[in-house]
Structure formats: structure tokens, C-alpha cells
Amino acid sequence: MSLSIQGKTAIITGSANGVGLAVARHFLERGANVMLADRDEARLIDECGNTEDETGQAKYFAGDLREKLTVANLLSATIDAFDRVDILVNACRQMLVTDPLDPNDDTVQTLLDQNMFAALRLSQAVAKRMITQAEDDGVEEGMIGSIVNISSIAARRTHPDLLGYSISAAALDQATRSLAVALAPHRIRVNAVAFGSLMSASLQSSLTETEGLRKEIKECTPLGRIGSAKEVAGAVQFLASEGAGFVTGEVITVDGGRTLLDSVTTAAH
């Protein structure tokens, strides 16, 4: 089976920064058509401007995917630009500190809305489109689409200050499994990639501000280093490709072995 995604059309959310941007760049380099979606329109314009003009492979859509109308508009914009959608990567995520003893702290609901419900609603809308286009094309055999959610090892290895983030990651993992079962009869695969500490802008800032954090993360990671967003992008490509044609409902962990250890470690970034 091929790992190629050339010629496929992908919607990638959270693609103005971080993991989402790394996945979008990775897909574009491998010949996919990509609709980059994020709330940060300025960053999207900066990222897509030249590529959009030169190749037509990259388009962007700015909006808040917590709003149902935005979900519908994103899907319409993708169909207008590329006529179809084959892959959805839900990489839009947020991390907030939660006070676990404050009943007025609303970060749990906020992060569920951002990290799970937005991905769930977009997945449902995209899955319906995938089913419709397969019927219109007369495709009766084989997979017709792939959905990949970007999750976190915080679903399994929590931190006292990350109650809301951990709950939202765990909810996304379970949504992945449930959707995989629900959409399997329609020939759509649903998987997730859960990552540990990556060298992101937020982690770089934390490493500068917190003495000994780099050493602590490395000691908690069997492979002894901090990962890169490109390594997550490679796992996403595998799950989106025909090479993973018999893989669904899986949460692949990209963390250098960190979740294999028993101790409670520092927060995932």
C-alpha cells in the first residue's frame, strides 16, 4: 500500500501555527491540496499568500470553528476551491491552566468546546460530504475518506494544573473511537495522533523561563529528547494514506516513549 497523499484534498484546522501548520506544510510538500483553517487570519495570509498564487495547492479559511455556521462555510469554501475533500485533520487545540478546586473555573467547558466539540462537529459535516461525493462518483469499493484528530498524551498522563486539557484530550480520544465505529460502514477511517512534548513556541518560552525544565522532560522521555512537529506530521500522513487502509479507531502515540513511564511528569506541550 502507498503512503502517497498526492492529489488528495485535505482540510487542516489549527494550521496557522504549531502542529497544524507543520502538518499543512508536510502535506503541501507531498502534493496534496490543502485548505488551511484557523482563527488567525493574518498568520494564514502570511503562510498561504505566495503558495496560493504560485501553485493553487493552498487556500485558507479564517473563522471560529466552535460556531456551526463557520463549519458549514469552511466545508463550502473547500468544495468551491477543490471540488472535494478526502482528508480532515483536526489540529485546532488550546491549552489552559485549570484550578481543580474552583467550582467557578470554566476552563473545562472552554476546552471541551475548543478541543473536542469543534472537531466532532466538523468531522460529522465532512463525513457527510465524503459519503455524498462517493455516491456521486459511483465509488462502491475501498475507503472514501480519512479523519485524523490531533490529541495529547495528557489524556493518559495528567498534571494537577491541566484538568480541563486532560479531560478534553480524553474526550477527543473517545470521540475518535466512537466515530471510527460509526463511520466504518461508510468506508471512512477515523484515527488520532497523541503527542508529548514538542519544540513549540510555547515550550521554547517555558524552557527559557523555567530552569531545569529541559532536563526534566528529557529524563522523562526514554528516547532522551524533545520531539518536533514534523514527526507528528509524518504519523498523520501515514494515517491519512492508503498505507493505513485497515487502521481505524487507533490513537497513535508520538512521544518518545514518555507514556511508558509510571511517574507523573511535566505537562505536554
Q: What's the average pLDDT block by block, 10 residues per block, for the chain (269 residues)?
A: 93 95 96 96 85 74 96 98 97 90 94 97 98 90 94 88 94 98 98 82 52 71 84 96 97 90 52
What are 253's strand-pairing partners? 194
Residue 204 cell numbers, joined = 521554547
- Count Cβ atoms below 10 Å from residue 53 Cβ, excluding itself: 9
Check residue 211 and give its pLDDT: 55
Q: Side chain identity at 156, as an amino acid letter?
A: R
C-alpha R_g of the chain: 18
Spatial separation of the C-alpha atoms in residues 268 and 266, rounded to whole Å:
7
137 in Cβ contact with 192 (< 8 Å): no
- CATH 3.40.50.720 for domain 9-260: yes
Q: At what angle do helices 41-54 and 18-29 cross, to 10 degrees?
A: 10
Beta carbons of 228 and 212 less than 8 angstroms apart: no
Instruction: Provide the 3-class DSSP secondary structure of residue 149.
Output: strand
Which of 43, 125, 39, 44 lies closest to 88 in space, CA to CA? 125
- This prediction has a pTM of 0.91
Q: Which residues are catalytic?
A: 165
Q: What's the full length of the chain, in residues?
A: 269
CA 65/CA 127 separation, integer angstroms: 16
CA 184 to CA 112: how far, in whole Å?
A: 25
Distances (CA, A) of 218 to 15, 58, 134, 135, 200: 27, 36, 46, 50, 15
**Are the CB atoms for 149 and 119 separated by under 8 Å?**
yes
Strand order in the sheet with 87-90: 58-62, 33-38, 9-13, 87-90, 145-152, 188-195, 251-254
The neighbouring-strand residues paired with 152 are: 195
Q: Provide the β-strand partners of residue 58.
A: 34
Amino acid at 254: V
